[in-house]
Structure 1
Amino acid sequence: MKKARILLLILFLLIPLTGCWDRTEINDLAFVVGTGVDKGPKQQYRFSVQVPLPSSLGGTGSSGGGGGTSGEGPFLIATGTGRNIREGVEDIQARLSRKLYFAHRRVLVIGEDQAKEGIREILNAVFTQPQSRLSTFLIVSKGEAVKMLKAQPRMELSSAEAMREMAKAGANLTVMDVLQNLDRQGKSLIIPMVEPTGTLKKERDGKEVLMGRFAVFKADKLSFFTSKRESHGILWLLERMKKKSYSFSVSKNKEMTVHINENSVHPNLKIVNGNPEFAVSVRVTGHLVENEANLRIEDPATYNKIIENMEEKIKNDIHSILKRAHTQGIDIYGFGWFLFKRHHQKWEHEWKQNWKSMLPHLKVTVKVDADIQRTTNTGNVERN
């Protein structure tokens, strides 16, 4: 009887030990490292995924494919269409022998035409997808997103990894950051923009990718892409110029290049006749890396002239993007958000409703305080 009880207890203990009947083998998964969303036909989405081919990674086997897939290079590009993102994924899945797995996605790229239509629904779909990581970098492409996924940069295994590294070194905006800013009062969306560059290889879609400009949004719709100068202005305002090189003119056809060590921005507000006015203080320090004109930076008069030129260019960079954005009723820096936090009651009752019409007339002065260090041939640093 005692043995029977022990045997029965053992049997009960075995019940929860069901083994691995529902396990998923790695060989059954297609690891998605990049996704793209483009505007499809008849109000549909065109959804694309980038999946590294196991054979190119030293593994065995490879993902199957069919219509809407291409496997040239070390990765597979598969596309599908649907009324929503879920349908697009299912359309792709029907042609793959492995199950799509999104937990390792590096980047989400939204095509230019789709960005003009709006990105809110796309972000909501990504947010509610169980495997999605909100640390995924969000990027807008000039042209179609699928073309960026097909690019074949030489320094990385895939274009998704290349875009991830570029985004991390640039504005460093993730899906979580964009979701938080999408409905933030008094602040508009800014998302890094990627575009193809280099020469098109013969009979191949492979290109290098370039990420140096930004996509500026009005609500959730793309309004415009920035120029190089405007992009610099955004980076100064976002305090993201650190560890970047910055060139400015010091004489006719001669430039000086400074590597930026520190970049900080401090907005100051004052209310004049009931209207807000801002003074933006920008602090910049860097060290000299190139001196085309061979100017003697040790000379106080020469140094002051160099600093004056540098400060003037930084100021012009910032004013160029503020002017273009404010003219279109876009608060690119977030002056409205500053008012929301500092003068909440006035914001709610006096400024909020008319903020877009107030922006073109908003007075913003920019003061730049720059300092350059020089590294001599002996390695010593001379601070001026």
Structure 2
Amino acid sequence: MKRKTLLCLSLVAMMMTGCADQMYIEDVTLSLILGLDLDEDGNLLVFMSSPVFNKEAKVKEEKVEVKAVSIRDSRELFDTTVMALTSGSKTQLLLVGKKLLKQKNWIDYIDPFYRDPKNTVTTRVVAVDGPVSDVIFFRPKDKPRLPLYLANLVDTAYRRNVTIKTTLQEFHEQTTEKGITASITELKKDHKIMLTGTALLDEQSKYKLSITPNENKLLRILQHKTKGDFPFTISVPLDSNGHDHWISFSTPRIKVKTRVRYDNHFIFDTDVKMRVAITERLFPFNVRSDAAKLQKSMEKKMQTDFERLIKKTQTKGIDPYGFGIYARAYKYPEWIKVQNQWGKAFAKADVNVKVHVTISGMGTIK
């Protein structure tokens, strides 16, 4: 009898607590998109996009811009404009303008996301090539609400490996890990919003370089991230005439293995094994009888693309692949000496990529 009484009292207490803490959705302004940028005078601009749940409102999305000294300061300014109390617990995207990304210590502005437990760390971090205001105040008639549209756009492109997807939690890990530099999604607004690839940051989290969607696929492979789709369209060198021989293929299976050596500098050997299925061929070729020649040409082209991307990042002194993690794991005594300047050490490293292609599918037409 006593146990039943205690159970009833506990249930009543829980119900009373829930009632006391409840808040109607009409009384909350959910910040689904938060944008950060700089104006012409270098002042911080903070943007917010939130849904409107009021039945009488004709426009179901509220967008606000304020000039503030920090994100926390902007919340108070938002509360003087919006109809309800601002909440960052459901933020889907954090848009950061390139102008701000090029500034030293810009990362300090996102401190509230990690410090306040009411905020979420699953927010997608996205670089904007151009003014953030162009994206925030964009109202496409043939698309759903901007937060839903952008979140789905990033997620779909990530599954296709067109760009990377970095949450605030992952961004924090990348910026505190000495063996890798951060990379985030990049987009721009022209006559429509489009993903342009991936923005690569340096050891101080400043913007250094942008890579295309095709280069992002190579980045993901070198990161040993081989899930999702990896469709390629390349021009293979089949003869000495310099003619373009275009071929498209999917890669249902990719295996990557990296080894590290040290001889006055770091040497990385990465083997990439790709099992491919041809999806398009724009030149006459008997794949069944001469597959080895085609495979060798594809390997040569892919290897050149890998080398070009690696050289591009080494020139900027960044390591978005995480080769530094391998250096620390297998050559720790040498890593210790350069851990605080890994970008410079990686720029002097030799990175050898060997590609092995096996054609496993030719389509119904041989």
TM-score (norm 2): 0.83
Contact 2:279 2:363 in 1 (8 A): no
2:255 is the counterpart of 1:264: yes
Q: Give the CA deviation at 1:85.
A: 0.7
Alignment match, 1:290: 280
**Structure 1: how far apart are the matches of 2:143 and 2:220?**
25
Q: Give the CA deviation at 1:243.
A: 1.1
**Structure 2: how far apart are the matches of 1:18 and 1:233?**
52
**Structure 2: how far apart are the matches of 1:104 and 1:19?**
20
Contact 2:287 2:362 in 1 (8 A): no
Q: How has the CA–CA distance of structure 1 residues 53 and 269 changed in structure 2, closer, same or farther, with 3 Å as cutoff?
A: same
Alignment match, 2:90: 104
SS of alignment partner, residue 164 of structure 2:
coil
**Structure 1: how far apart are the matches of 2:57 and 2:252?**
46
Contact 2:32 2:93 in 1 (8 A): yes
Contact 1:190 1:216 in 2 (8 A): yes
**Structure 2: how far apart are the matches of 1:211 and 1:62?**
31
Residues 20-169 of structure 1 correspond to what in structure 2 (within 5 A)? 20=19, 23-40=22-39, 43-54=42-53, 60-62=55-57, 74-117=60-103, 118-152=105-139, 156-168=143-155, 169=158
Q: Could you give the per-residue CA deviations for residues 144-184 of structure 1, whole angstroms, max 9, x where no partner exists?
A: 22322333456741333233233332423211011011021
2:207 is the counterpart of 1:222: yes
Alignment match, 2:319: 331
**Structure 1: how far apart are the matches of 2:213 and 2:18?**
59
Q: Could you give the per-residue CA deviations for residues 298-336 of structure 1, whole angstroms, max 9, x where no partner exists?
A: 12x2x2232223222322222222112212221222222
Contact 1:244 1:259 in 2 (8 A): yes
Aligned length: 341
Q: How has the CA–CA distance of structure 1 residues 173 and 21 changed in structure 2, closer, same or farther, with 3 Å as cutoff?
A: closer
SS of alignment partner, residue 288 of structure 2:
coil
Q: Could you give the per-residue CA deviations for residues 219-251 of structure 1, whole angstroms, max 9, x where no partner exists?
A: 211112224554343233233574132101146
2:221 is the counterpart of 1:236: yes
Contact 2:164 2:198 in 1 (8 A): no
Contact 1:116 1:222 in 2 (8 A): yes
Alignment match, 1:66: none
**Structure 2: how far apart are the matches of 1:19 and 1:185?**
44
**Structure 2: how far apart are the matches of 1:150 and 1:308?**
50
Alignment match, 1:195: 188
Q: Give the CA deviation at 1:47.
A: 0.9
Amino acid at match of 2:47: S
Q: Give the CA deviation at 1:353.
A: 5.0
Q: How has the CA–CA distance of structure 1 residues 62 and 24 changed in structure 2, closer, same or farther, with 3 Å as cutoff?
A: farther
Contact 1:241 1:260 in 2 (8 A): no
Q: How has the CA–CA distance of structure 1 residues 353 and 102 changed in structure 2, closer, same or farther, with 3 Å as cutoff?
A: closer
Q: Give the CA deviation at 1:210.
A: 1.7
Alignment match, 1:7: none
Q: How has the CA–CA distance of structure 1 residues 111 and 19 changed in structure 2, closer, same or farther, with 3 Å as cutoff?
A: closer
**Structure 1: how far apart are the matches of 2:305 and 2:26?**
51
Amino acid at match of 2:359: I
What RMSD in Å do the two structures reach over aligned CA positions?
Answer: 2.8
SS of alignment partner, residue 308 of structure 1:
helix
SS of alignment partner, residue 133 of structure 2:
helix
SS of alignment partner, residue 102 of structure 2:
helix
Alignment match, 2:169: 176
Q: Give the CA deviation at 1:21.
A: 5.5
Identify the match of residue 306 of structure 1 among 294, 298, 303: 294
Q: How has the CA–CA distance of structure 1 residues 360 and 60 changed in structure 2, closer, same or farther, with 3 Å as cutoff?
A: same
Identity of aligned residues (%): 16
Q: Give the CA deviation at 1:36.
A: 0.9
**Structure 1: how far apart are the matches of 2:40 and 2:282?**
53
TM-score (norm 1): 0.79
Structure 2 unpaired stretches of 5+: 1-8
**Structure 2: how far apart are the matches of 1:276 and 1:19?**
58
Higher mean alpha-carbon deviation, 89-98 vs 223-232, is at: 223-232
Contact 1:190 1:217 in 2 (8 A): yes
SS of alignment partner, residue 147 of structure 1:
helix
Contact 1:192 1:213 in 2 (8 A): yes
Q: Give the CA deviation at 1:285.
A: 2.1
Structure of higher CA gyration radius: 1
Q: Give the CA deviation at 1:97.
A: 0.9
